[in-house]
Amino acid sequence: AVLALGVVGCGEKKEEKKAEAPAAAPAAPAGPKTIIFASDAAYPPMQYVNDQKEIVGFEVDVIKAAAEKAGFKAEFKNVAWDGIFAGLAAGKYDAISSSVSITDERKASMDFSDPIMSIEQMLVVGVKEKATDLAGLKGKSIGAQIGTTSYLVIKDVKGFKAIKTYDEVGLAMEDLVKGSIQAVVADSPVAVDYTTKKHADKIKIAATLKSDKVENIGIAVKKGNKEVLDLVNKGLAAIKADGTFDKIKEEHKMK
Amino acid sequence: MPVNSPPTAPIVDIRHVSKSFGALKALNNVSMSMSLGEKVVIIGPSGSGKSTLLRSINKLESVDSGTIIVDGQDINAPATDINRLRMELGMVFQSFNLFPHKTVLQNLTLAPIKLKGMGQAEADEMAMRLLDKVGIREKAHVFPAKLSGGQQQRVAIARALAMSPKIMLFDEPTSALDPEMIGEVLDVMVKLAKEGMTMAVVTHEMGFAREVADRVVFMDHGAIVEEGTPEHFFQNPEHERTKLFLSQIL
Amino acid sequence: MPVNSPPTAPIVDIRHVSKSFGALKALNNVSMSMSLGEKVVIIGPSGSGKSTLLRSINKLESVDSGTIIVDGQDINAPATDINRLRMELGMVFQSFNLFPHKTVLQNLTLAPIKLKGMGQAEADEMAMRLLDKVGIREKAHVFPAKLSGGQQQRVAIARALAMSPKIMLFDEPTSALDPEMIGEVLDVMVKLAKEGMTMAVVTHEMGFAREVADRVVFMDHGAIVEEGTPEHFFQNPEHERTKLFLSQIL
Amino acid sequence: MNEARTIDVGEGAAIPSRSDWGLFNAWTISITGAVGAILYLYFFQSTPYKRIAHYVADGIIITFQVTIMSILCACCIGLVVGLGRVSKNKAVNLAASTYVEVIRGIPLLVQLFYIYYALGRLLNVHDLTAAVIAMSVCYGAYMGEVFRAGITSIDKGQTEAARSLGFNTKQTMFLVILPQAWHTILPPVGNEFIALLKDTSLVSILAVSDLLRRGREISSESFLYFETYTLVALIYLVITLILSKGVSIMEARLSHYARQ
Amino acid sequence: MNEARTIDVGEGAAIPSRSDWGLFNAWTISITGAVGAILYLYFFQSTPYKRIAHYVADGIIITFQVTIMSILCACCIGLVVGLGRVSKNKAVNLAASTYVEVIRGIPLLVQLFYIYYALGRLLNVHDLTAAVIAMSVCYGAYMGEVFRAGITSIDKGQTEAARSLGFNTKQTMFLVILPQAWHTILPPVGNEFIALLKDTSLVSILAVSDLLRRGREISSESFLYFETYTLVALIYLVITLILSKGVSIMEARLSHYARQ
Ligand SMILES: Nc1ncnc2c1ncn2[C@@H]1O[C@H](COP(=O)(O)OP(=O)(O)OP(=O)(O)O)[C@@H](O)[C@H]1O
Ligand SMILES: Nc1ncnc2c1ncn2[C@@H]1O[C@H](COP(=O)(O)OP(=O)(O)OP(=O)(O)O)[C@@H](O)[C@H]1O
Ligand SMILES: [Mg+2]
Ligand SMILES: [Mg+2]
């Protein structure tokens, strides 16, 4: 599947295509609609940049598969997370595919597709740390990526020495490995990825933070953009129905 | 040179002009006029307002009150195109002010080409004629920095003449020059005077004043103290102030 | 003033000293010595190496070859503590070089306090005595910028004296002064000479040389051309070059 | 002093000049060291440096693209602002001065965020354009001061001579003053170019794929922070050193020209 | 020209001076406008500006903390570098010059990443400390040039007079030269202070909770990008305007002092 999406080149190429997008690709007049997805591609294994500078990952593959089924063309654009919603509102792209959790606050300013999957918030700590919940980390420093639901979990918890926000979740993990902070809260797929692949010997998952609500991730579109939403939902439903979704999950070794 | 106004009407008419710099009255109710072809030499001690008077004629300095009529036009009237009028008034500065990024020839041709729409060839030819006149034809393609002060000032005169002005204004054209070079510039100015150019000259060169001036004007403290022919002026000055000045300078 | 070396041994002994600035030979195999209490006046045209010679005595200028012995110590020897030795050598510059951020009194006391560990009170008292001597006691608490050139130079002399040097070096101490002020500085220098100070003075003041010098040294092109008593010097100079120089300067 | 300060705004590189012995030699040492280090790492420590080098290479092009487009726009803005700053028209003058005062009072990074996110809704431009706009707006203010200083460095007599020949204000400026001012203006513009090139690293925060962004991408993926940032720093260093030498040569040429 | 350039490194604010009519008035307009806008937004547009203002307030303190600590360290480094740059000892001189050349050749943001992430594993320092180290190392190079220019601005005669009294090099520098040089040094140091304050916005990238970081946090959470960045920019503007007025007053005082 990875090879099939090798079209996306460097930033420049993407821009050119974006500019042509409204003209509905004159070279192929009857061609499928192109949807541009913004992605904070520093979020392995969901979406990240590989050695060929392509945006790849689980969610990317899901969207590509859905696109095939629903008959649209998906293009990905790397966007820094803390401005990703501003860009959507400004119409710089059609949708956000960046492990966006569906929350009530966000629903107020954008529309969401059907859930792709549910995730949980996980507490990641150093291998020697004994604490197994947030309370056990009082007096220590904790971090999360800026503007994420992970950050919302810790934002209002009292008793930490410092609550730090990072541009990228990887930078938070790096600080954890370095010892600048003692814990990171992150989405479950990301937490698993970092603790099993990248820094298996240095950090571990201490706990899954229980919540009374189920947290789902989905594709965000500008409020009222029904056309895109319908296409995405159609594709998602199709791949879930025919087992493609589970196959991709397996490929990416997701539980 | 075409003459538009009847010979009796003055070509420059300065009436009750005053000008202050802050608290300092640089010009204090000055009136003076020049008729076509007349050569007026303005003298006076430093700071007496000579330059200010000369510069106000082509509005490099704008006056506070009074009127200045040049060639029939009030230079301060809103309808007057001062840039047009300035083409009638050639000005030569103490510090030459040649354009250092242009050759001597280009210094002469720039304004005629850009302002009068003269063709390159015509302008070049005219410029060479003028350079001949001031005696430095051979320096046409040299940059000003390579010239001596005297040569630069002669180019500056030629540059002003290139616009075929009706009147030439000189503000101490030889004061910045070494003694050896003063002569060559004065020679050009005398030649110009003999050809009938209307000239207003601020200078300390009394020999020039004696030889060329139709009228000498003596200024002090922003006012014209005395004026008259060179003969009157150098032999029987009326005012004490004039006598004192002449005794110092001669 | 305690004398360490026997009176016969020279207190300054310059032997075969040369010094170049790039291609220019500022000093060319110069030898000269001074004994204790002697006053030597060095004269010569501009650029002849007078300043360089004087400055090389306290190593403000380091020489290329030759030796300089001051008070028994080779100033270029590695073992010599040049900062210690400089305390024996008071220097007065053409441009005064007072410390503008210190009062007159502090200018005098800074070095004795910091370098000799003198107490504040003792230093102040000594400084006031010296200011008395140069005649500007009343300016003790004023900043140098408020003083005239002559006053500044007298302070500079007092500052040098505050370190109780054995030898005083003067490099054209009056050249930067207006004529009215030259006298007041020379007076102080004459007084100092009368008290028996060893002095090397570069100057164009021939009157001073006549009155004070034990020996006059004439330099040209980096070499000593002629030396002798003032009488010999001003009445019967031997060399053509000396005669020419004296004829120009007197 | 004031005059001098305003023309010498640059936070560019340290320009090596022959009169500054230390800097002149330091330049040689630095460039030799930096180029040597890059070559050594690339050829003798191929893993992982070769991989990093290939990954970040296209970032250098983006960095130059942003720099060159921004400096061109900044020069245009700077010319307008500089003319405004010397204008006798009080309203124009004040407008230009206020622009300079406000823009120089706000950090470039904040301006970047502002233009990108805050104004993003109004002017729907893509990243590279937003970056270029922000850099130009910011450097336009600095450039304005450079132009102003260049214009005021020309003797008043030149204006008077031109005006007395009959040229109007605009002709005087473009035919007489500016052609002379560029000698004064060019070296500080070169310096601003270097400063701007360094500051383009800030656009990496907007996910523009410049040199630094590429470095951040590969380091966060490969965890080769030390190796990546060493290489990125060396690349920036070599670029600015070469440019600063260029400015130094230009300065020497122009001052030579000015003397003749 | 060279001398002047090196002391006037500042990318600080545009310092309003009485001799610059336009800038002087522009300052008044800008500060009135900025303060007025903040007050208006806070009191008459309380939602959402009050919320934003309260959220970012503690960021201002961090910004000042980083600025003040960094400028102090940078001054110390600058003094050492400046002394090195004027040293007659060729090795010392070259070391100082190379430091200046290299540091000024690398973007501050790259230096920040380098110190924080690349060297971070070796020297495991607190983020604030890393920020201060990086800012100090970078500004130390600029400050070194300020000190160097200040030192060389003192007449050579002062050194000669001090040396001839018997002071050694160090005593001469600290008792005679530096006490005089601070008049020349202080205004550009003030300017560097402003430039540094603006550049502290970069440390927001290291997850230091300064003013800009706080702004980014609240805007990414509340989606009030326009409102947040407007307020943040205004706060920065007011701070730098006030500081630039301070520098301007200091400059006038010192030049008055120098005249007396
Ligand atoms: N732009 C100016 N601003 C302020 N004062 C000025 C200005 N131009 C001239 N002045 C003052 O006005 C007075 C008259 O100046 P002006 O140059 O006309 O004298 P002048 O007779 O030409 O003297 P000089 O022989 O020195 O050239 C002088 O006191 C001068 O200082
Ligand atoms: N630091 C220096 N660098 C280069 N050349 C120098 C230096 N100091 C002196 N010189 C040159 O050395 C020569 C001797 O200089 P010195 O100052 O000793 O002459 P002087 O006799 O004192 O002249 P003056 O009466 O002008 O003071 C002069 O040609 C001078 O230009
Ligand atoms: Mg005059
Ligand atoms: Mg001398």
Q: What is the ipTM of this complex?
A: 0.83
Contact D124 A91 (CB under 8 A): yes
For residue D9, pLDDT beyond 50 = no
Q: How far is the CA of B50 from the centre of ligand 3 (A)?
A: 6
For residue B186, pLDDT beyond 60 = yes
Average pLDDT score over residue span C108-136: 96
List all chains that touch chain A, counting a touch as 3 or more CB pairs closer than 8 Å: D, E
Contact A80 D62 (CB under 8 A): no
- Ligand closest to B50 (CA) is 1
- Grade residue E257 by pLDDT with cuts at 50, 70 and 90: low
Contact E166 C101 (CB under 8 A): no
User: What's the CA gap between A181 and D212, in Å, rounded?
Assistant: 25
| Look-up of token digits 């493609």 | A244
Average pLDDT score over residue span C62-88: 94
Q: From the alpha carbon of C202, which atom of ligand 2 is closest?
A: 22
User: What's the CA gap between D178 and D96, in Å, rounded?
Assistant: 18
Identify residue B237 by its one-letter amino acid code: P
Domain extents in chain E: 21-259
Average pLDDT score over residue span C25-48: 94
Task: Say if strands C39-43 and C215-220 run parallel, antiparallel, or are unpaired.
Answer: parallel
Instruction: Return the higher-pLDDT residue of D252 and E164.
Output: E164
Interface of E with A in 45-104 (CB under 8 A): none
Who contacts E193 (Cβ-Cβ below 8 Å, separation ≥6)?
E12, E67, E71, E243, E247
- Grade residue B2 by pLDDT with cuts at 50, 70 and 90: very low
> Tens digits of per-residue pLDDT, D219-244?
877 778 889 999 999 999 999 999 99
- Grade residue E61 by pLDDT with cuts at 50, 70 and 90: very high
- Grade residue E8 by pLDDT with cuts at 50, 70 and 90: very low
Residue C221 in contact with residue C235, Cβ under 8 Å? no
- Grade residue A197 by pLDDT with cuts at 50, 70 and 90: confident
- Grade residue D260 by pLDDT with cuts at 50, 70 and 90: very low
Q: From the alpha carbon of C94, which atom of ligand 2 is closest?
A: 27
- Grade residue E11 by pLDDT with cuts at 50, 70 and 90: low
Average pLDDT score over residue span E28-37: 94
**Tokens encoding C120:** 């504040």
CB atoms within 10 A of CB B207: 11
Give residue A81's pLDDT.
86
Contact D166 B100 (CB under 8 A): no
- Grade residue B169 by pLDDT with cuts at 50, 70 and 90: very high
- Grade residue A13 by pLDDT with cuts at 50, 70 and 90: very low
Q: Which residues of B92-122 are buried (b: 16+ CB within 10 A; e: fewer)?
A: bbbbbbbbbbbbbbbbbbbbbbebeebeeee
Contact E226 D25 (CB under 8 A): no
For residue B5, pLDDT beyond 50 = no
**Tokens encoding E27:** 């300052």
- In angstroms, the Cα distances linking B250 to B47, B137, B205 are 19, 35, 10
| Burial grade of A74 (CB within 10 A; 0-12, 13-18, 19 or more) | buried
Average pLDDT score over residue span E238-257: 87
Q: Is the CB of B197 under 6 A from ligand 1?
A: no
For residue D1, pLDDT beyond 50 = no
For residue D118, pLDDT beyond 90 = no
- Grade residue A21 by pLDDT with cuts at 50, 70 and 90: very low
Q: How far is the CA of C26 from the centre of ligand 2 (A)?
A: 7
Instruction: Return the higher-pLDDT residue of E77 and D119.
Output: E77
- Grade residue B8 by pLDDT with cuts at 50, 70 and 90: low
For residue C5, pLDDT beyond 80 = no
For residue C215, pLDDT beyond 90 = yes
> Tens digits of per-residue pLDDT, E113-148?
888 887 776 777 777 888 899 999 999 999 998 999
- Residue D134, chain A, CB below 8 Å: the answer is no
Q: Which of B19, B20, B21 to mutate to test the pocket of ligand 1 (most atoms within 8 A of CB)?
A: B21
Q: What is the dihedral of CA C170, C174, C177, C182, to 10 degrees?
A: 130
Give residue C1's pLDDT.
43
Q: How far is D9 from chain E (nearest CA, A)?
A: 6
User: What's the CA gap between E84 and C126, in Å, rounded?
Assistant: 37
Give residue B117's pLDDT.
94
Residue located nearest, by CA, to atom 29 of ligand 1: B47
For residue E227, pLDDT beyond 50 = yes
Give the closest of E124, E220, E221 to A179, CB-based. Answer: E124
Q: What is the average pLDDT value for chain B, to the nearest integer?
A: 92
- Grade residue C8 by pLDDT with cuts at 50, 70 and 90: low
Give residue E231's pLDDT.
95
> Tens digits of per-residue pLDDT, E85-122?
999 999 999 999 999 999 999 999 999 888 888 777 67
Average pLDDT score over residue span C85-112: 96
> Tens digits of per-residue pLDDT, B30-46?
999 999 999 999 999 99
Q: For an interface test with C, which of E159, E160, E164 has the most C Cβ atoms less than 10 Å from its Cβ?
A: E164
> Tens digits of per-residue pLDDT, D196-220?
999 999 998 877 889 998 998 888 7
Q: From the alpha carbon of B55, which atom of ligand 1 is closest?
A: 18
Q: Tell me, yes or no, whether chains B and E touch by having 3 or more C-beta pairs under 8 A.
A: no
> Tens digits of per-residue pLDDT, B83-101?
999 999 999 999 999 999 9
Q: Which residues of C110-131 are buried (b: 16+ CB within 10 A; e: fewer)?
A: bbbbebeebeeeebbebbeebb
For residue E9, pLDDT beyond 70 = no
Q: How far is the CA of C52 from the centre of ligand 2 (A)?
A: 6
Give residue A254's pLDDT.
79
Q: Which of B19, B30, B42, B52 to mutate to test the pocket of ligand 1 (most atoms within 8 A of CB)?
A: B52
Give residue D75's pLDDT.
95
Q: What is the average pLDDT value for chain A, to the nearest integer?
A: 84
Give residue A5's pLDDT.
35
Residue B71 in contact with residue B2, Cβ under 8 Å? no
Residue C54 in contact with residue C17, Cβ under 8 Å? no
H or E segment at A37?
strand A33-39
- Grade residue D257 by pLDDT with cuts at 50, 70 and 90: low
Lowest mean pLDDT among A2-6, B104-108, B213-217, D45-49: A2-6
- Grade residue A210 by pLDDT with cuts at 50, 70 and 90: confident
Give residue D24's pLDDT.
87
The three-state (H, E, C) secondary structure of C36-72, written as one string:
CCCEEEEECCCCCCHHHHHHHHCCCCCCCEEEEEECC
> Tens digits of per-residue pLDDT, D54-92?
999 999 999 999 999 999 999 999 999 999 999 999 999
Residue located nearest, by CA, to atom 19 of ligand 2: C47
Interface of E with D in 199-228 (CB under 8 A): 199, 201-202, 204-205, 212, 215-216, 219, 225-226, 228
Average pLDDT score over residue span A49-78: 92
| Look-up of token digits 């319908």 | A230
- In angstroms, the Cα distances linking E129 to E14, E18, E69 are 30, 39, 9
Strand-pair partners of B27? B19
Q: Is the CB of C46 under 6 A from ligand 2?
A: yes
Q: Is the CB of C47 under 6 A from ligand 2?
A: yes
- CATH 1.10.3720.10 holds for E21-259: yes
